Amino acid sequence: MTAAARGAPRWWVFRGRHVLLRERWTADPHADPDDPRPSGPLPDPPGGIRLRIAVPVDSGLASPDPPGEGPHDPAQLVTGEEPPAPEGYGWVDLRVAAAWLGDDLFRRAGRAWQLLEWHRSHRFCGVCGNPTAPGPYDALTCTVCDHLHFPRLSPAVIVLVHDGDRVLLGRGRHLPEGMYSTLAGFVEPGESLEEAVHREIREEADVTLTDLRYFGSQPWPFPHSLMVGFLARWAGGAPHPADGELEAVEWFRKDALPRIPGRVSIARSLIDAWRAGAGT
């Protein structure tokens, strides 16, 4: 795929959290929604464009960027009752599609979906209650008082806690059967990222930390998170589900890990990095 092809704006069409993709992307037999890695790299179709939308779809909302003109991919949100996919296309949950799309396209699809969700859920001004309309800088402008409403972003910390050979993983209630993941929580007003890490881990698992190290970050458009990843060493406390957010929190050794999140998530990147020796 050429840089020009990758950079060209393309349409994304969504139905709820499902994105419309060409059928070849939806027919993969390895499309386990909990671990959606395909068995090998998917071939690029002729022309080098992995995804295109060229069908008329009933649109409830259009992006402020017309196709080909804006710096970002335009997108449409499909409204109405469960419209069937056009011939040759299928609806795929964006979380599942993430692994197939790869980092670059997932980032773009996630951005498109996040902005659509922002527009869908902020149709009225929070200051004066009148309708909003697309404005500059991805913002929505109030049609009466001109207040600018910028897209909502919710920073969250996600932390791999280890004590060398063991990693502390938790079972959130939303996770698939048997899956454990790194601990995470939203940053609160007035709090630094580091303070959020210490507070969240203390609240969720009743342990204290030391040797906190920044790892990396990942936009996570479900619906508007920015995940900020850290590695930290356990300093004290017997882990247990302390505030009811987790069903279980347990130590696991590198050679006996439970089911863990798929490769698209920063949780998995943190676990893979620790397995490779990071932080220890």
Interface with Zn ion by CB under 5 A: which residues? 125, 127-128, 142, 145, 147
The residue assigned the tokens 């017309």 is: 66
Give whichever of 1 and 148 is closer to Zn ion, judged by the CB atom. Answer: 148
* Minimum distance, C-beta of residue 129 to Zn ion, in the bound complex (Å): 7
Half-sphere exposure of 97 (CA within 13 A, CB side): 29
Contact (CB, 8 A) for 91 and 18? yes
Radius of gyration of the chain (CA): 21
The two three-digit tokens of residue 151, written as one number: 């897209």
Query: Residue 261 is encoded by which pair of tokens?
Result: 């999140």
What is the nearest approach in angstroms of Zn ion to the Cβ of residue 148? 10
Q: Which is nearer to Zn ion, 30 or 152 (CB)?
A: 152
Question: Which CB sits closer to Zn ion, 127 or 257?
Answer: 127
Shortest gap between Cβ of 226 and Zn ion (angstroms)? 27
Q: Kind of pairing, strands 154-162 and 208-220?
A: unpaired
Work out how close the CB of 127 gets to Zn ion at its nearest, in angstroms, rounded to a whole number. 4
Of 26 and 143, nearer to Zn ion (C-beta) is 143
**What whole-number distance in Å separates Cα of residue 280 and Cα of residue 231?**
9
